[in-house]
């Protein structure tokens, strides 16, 4: 039996849940709740630092603006470094992540074709889409069709298969440095906080925020999600011009990820950096 490219997503209900994934998410969240009993300022510092490294550099810069949208270019060895950091965030391998996000842009808010369509409600777009096994989202033979450029690369195929194992050396290193306090904060709490930070872009910014550009979807510029996600919350800008490297266009639109791309450009490591078109900047003033 063949799998169609965009099958109808599963209906909500206990019978359609992927209980293995529900259990996995529950264990990670449960371990994160142990944080008050393992608190130390150094552990909190580790959590914040890794949230930035895996979130801004790995997910926002690596998975999103580099691999998904190709809004700038870097040497292949550096691209692999960024992709590996992204895989350490525990948000899926690069083929899975890129394919899902490209589907989101192709079919934004379409209840059947957008994996995390906000038209199905806040909680669906925030996290329920993860626990209902839609083949178009989770079947590798299906989703890799949306990221053939990534799927052709043997290293990205390896990351897509084994990204979960990357948490093991992270946990071992953190335990050696600071014991269970560092593990709870640097692995479990960091994963949960970064998950929900990222998921807010799928959910909150498609329901609230200012709409600088009146495009067909409901994406908005939401300042507080931009602060939590290193610039991704300027989501209306991004959906209007998805292949542009900066998400924040004004000096007051804080975009930490864009600052990192600018630094790479100044160091000669990033080239062909796509900036907002002049006419679009002039039009929106």
Q: Rounded mean pLDDT of 133-144?
A: 81
Q: Tell me, what's the pLDDT at 134?
A: 76
Dist. CA 18–CA 69, nearest whole Å? 30
Q: Please tell me which residue, 18 or 267, carries the higher pLDDT value.
A: 267
On the question of pLDDT at 80 being above 60, the answer is yes
Mean pLDDT of the 207-227 span: 95
Does residue 152 carry a pLDDT above 90?
A: yes
Mean residue pLDDT of the chain comes to 92
- Neighbouring residues of 118: CB distance < 8 A, sequence distance ≥ 6: 109, 124, 125, 202, 203, 206, 207, 218
For residues 31 and 188, the answer to whether their CB atoms sit within 8 Å is yes
pLDDT band at 137 (very low <50, low <70, confident <90, very high): confident
Tell me the pLDDT band of 17, cut-offs 50, 70 and 90. Answer: confident
**Average of per-residue pLDDT across 146-170:** 97
What pLDDT does 146 receive?
A: 94
Tokens 């979960």 appear where?
Answer: 164
pLDDT at 18: 83
Residue 85 reports pLDDT greater than 80: yes
Which class for 148: exposed (0-12), middle (13-18), buried (19 or more C-beta within 10 A)? exposed
pLDDT interval class at 1 (50, 70, 90): very low
The more confident residue out of 284 and 148 is 148
pLDDT value at 280 more than 70: no
- d(CA 223, CA 217) in angstroms, rounded, equals 18
pLDDT band at 285 (very low <50, low <70, confident <90, very high): low
Collapse the DSSP code of 12 into the 3-class scheme (helix H, G, I; strand E, B; otherwise coil) and give the result.
coil
- Report pLDDT for 12: 63
CA atoms within 13 A on the CB side of 237: 24
Domain range list for the chain: 15-283
- Work out the average pLDDT over 113-136: 89
Average pLDDT over residues 200-224: 95
Question: Tokens for 254?
Answer: 């804080």
- State the average pLDDT over residues 263-272: 98
CA distance 140 to 205: 28
Backbone dihedral angles phi then psi of residue 234, each to the nearest 5 degrees: -80, 65
Give the Cα separation of 257 and 238 in Å (integer).
13
Q: Say if residue 17 is exposed, middle or buried (CB neighbours under 10 Å; 0-12, 13-18, 19+).
A: middle
**Is the pLDDT reported for residue 3 higher than 50?**
no
Please tell me the distance from the alpha carbon of residue 22 to that of residue 130, in angstroms, as a whole number.
Answer: 9
Quickly state the pLDDT bin for 56 (edges 50, 70, 90): very high
Angstrom CA distances, 15 to 11, 18, 20, 221, 258, stand at 9, 9, 13, 36, 43
Question: 233: which DSSP letter?
Answer: T
């Amino acid at each position: 039996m063949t799998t169609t490219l965009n099958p109808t997503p599963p209906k909500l209900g206990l019978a359609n849940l992927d209980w293995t994934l529900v259990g996995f998410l529950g264990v990670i969240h449960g371990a994160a709740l142990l944080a008050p009993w393992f608190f130390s300022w150094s552990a909190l510092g580790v959590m914040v630092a890794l949230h930035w490294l895996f979130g801004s550099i790995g997910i926002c810069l690596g998975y999103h603006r580099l691999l998904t949208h190709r809004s700038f270019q870097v040497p292949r060895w550096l691209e692999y470094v960024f992709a590996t950091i992204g895989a350490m965030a525990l948000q899926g391998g690069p083929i899975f992540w890129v394919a899902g996000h490209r589907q989101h842009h192709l079919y934004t808010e379409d209840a059947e074709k957008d994996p995390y369509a906000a038209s199905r409600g806040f909680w669906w777009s925030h996290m329920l889409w993860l626990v209902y096994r839609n083949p178009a989202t989770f079947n590798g033979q299906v989703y890799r069709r949306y990221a053939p450029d990534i799927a052709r690369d043997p290293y990205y195929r390896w990351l897509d298969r084994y990204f979960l194992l990357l948490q093991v050396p992270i946990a071992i290193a953190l335990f050696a440095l600071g014991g269970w306090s560092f593990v709870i904060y640097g692995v479990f709490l960091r994963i949960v906080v970064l998950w929900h930070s990222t998921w807010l872009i799928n959910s909150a910014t498609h329901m609230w925020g200012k709409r600088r550009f009146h495009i067909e979807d409901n994406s908005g510029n939401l300042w507080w999600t931009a602060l939590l996600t290193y610039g991704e919350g300027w989501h209306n800008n991004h959906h209007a011009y998805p292949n542009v490297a900066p998400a924040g266009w004004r000096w007051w639109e804080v975009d930490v990820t864009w600052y990192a791309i600018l630094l790479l450009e100044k160091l000669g490591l990033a080239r062909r950096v796509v900036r907002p078109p002049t006419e679009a900047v002039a039009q929106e003033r």
